[in-house]
């Protein structure tokens, strides 16, 4: 009985000591989910933030365009409902509505590889749509995000680096890995990497009429 009480007391103590820091971490994580500065004053990336987090990011960095890479599926919604904070609440809002309130352009893209039978040498159509957004000087600063802020966001951020900043594919791939894409996934054998990065030729290098 005494041992049981001791263990119970120890468990309570651990909860009291560890609980607040864990809750604080979770709140900060959800608020600004993987928000990162790619190019200062120009290009930013993240996962899906809370309504408060997105509002703060837009204000802090002067964001003019939000590009959302989520799409309708069993696990996510193209125009996500953003909770007010990490604990939720009654005052959540659709992301497109929040952007409209804040005077920010909202763009929804659904990046994916081509359906089977797939030709990995062809660029996914979404890349051309993406470049049309980024070609507009009035679009900047831009914030791009998906749900986690890792894979879809990582691939299109890599294309931004190659197209607008002159990065080589190897540099862009290393940055993808460093930002959580995963060394095992971000390989030359992955269809997404092949199609989005390996097959991509910046327009300045491809010449007139070149891809995309």
Q: What is the pLDDT of residues 21-35, one digit of tens each?
A: 433 334 455 688 899
Domain map of the chain by residue range? 31-204
- pLDDT value of residue 189: 72
pTM (2 decimals)? 0.80
CATH number at 31-204 = 3.90.190.10
More confident residue, 171 or 116: 171
Q: What is the CA radius of gyration of the chain?
A: 20
Helix (H, G, I), strand (E, B) or coil at 21: helix
Cβ within 8 Å of residue 86, ≥6 positions away: 26, 27, 29, 30, 31, 50
Residue found by looking up tokens 């996510």 in the block: 76
In the predicted model, what is the mean pLDDT of residues 153-175?
Answer: 96
Whole-angstrom CA distances from 188 to 22, 126, 152, 156, 171 are 37, 21, 16, 16, 14
Q: Examine the pLDDT at 210 and tell me if it is beyond 50.
A: no
Q: Is the dihedral of CA 153, 154, 158, 159 positive or negative?
A: negative
Helix 2-31 to helix 51-61 angle (10° resolution) is 40
In the predicted model, what is the mean pLDDT of residues 41-46?
Answer: 98
Distance, in Å, from the CA atom of 125 to the CA atom of 130, rounded to the nearest integer, reads 9
What are the tokens at 152? 């879809």
Tell me if 201 sits within 8 A of 131, measured CB to CB: no
Tell me if 46 sits within 8 A of 59, measured CB to CB: no
Percent of the chain with pLDDT over 90: 54
Q: What is the pLDDT of residues 116-127, one digit of tens each?
A: 778 888 889 899
- pLDDT value of residue 16: 44
């Amino acid at each position: 009985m005494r041992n049981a009480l001791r263990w119970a007391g120890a468990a309570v103590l651990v909860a009291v000591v560890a609980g607040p820091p864990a809750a604080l971490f979770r709140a900060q994580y959800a608020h600004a989910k993987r928000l990162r500065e790619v190019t200062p004053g120009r290009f930013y990336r993240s996962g899906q933030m809370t309504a408060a987090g997105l509002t703060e990011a837009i204000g802090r960095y002067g964001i003019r365009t939000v590009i959302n890479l989520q799409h309708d599926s069993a696990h996510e919604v193209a125009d996500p409902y953003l909770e007010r904070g990490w604990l939720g609440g009654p005052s959540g809002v659709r992301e497109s509505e929040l952007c409209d309130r804040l005077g920010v352009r909202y763009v929804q893209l659904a990046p994916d590889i081509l359906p089977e039978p797939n030709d990995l040498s062809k660029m996914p159509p979404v890349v051309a749509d993406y470049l049309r957004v980024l070609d507009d000087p009035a679009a900047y600063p831009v914030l791009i995000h998906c749900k986690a802020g890792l894979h879809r966001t990582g691939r299109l951020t890599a294309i931004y680096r190659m197209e607008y900043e002159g990065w080589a594919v190897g540099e862009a791939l290393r940055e993808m890995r460093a930002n959580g894409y995963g060394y095992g996934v971000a390989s030359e054998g992955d269809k997404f990497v092949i199609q989005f990065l390996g097959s991509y030729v910046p327009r300045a290098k491809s010449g007139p009429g070149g891809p995309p």
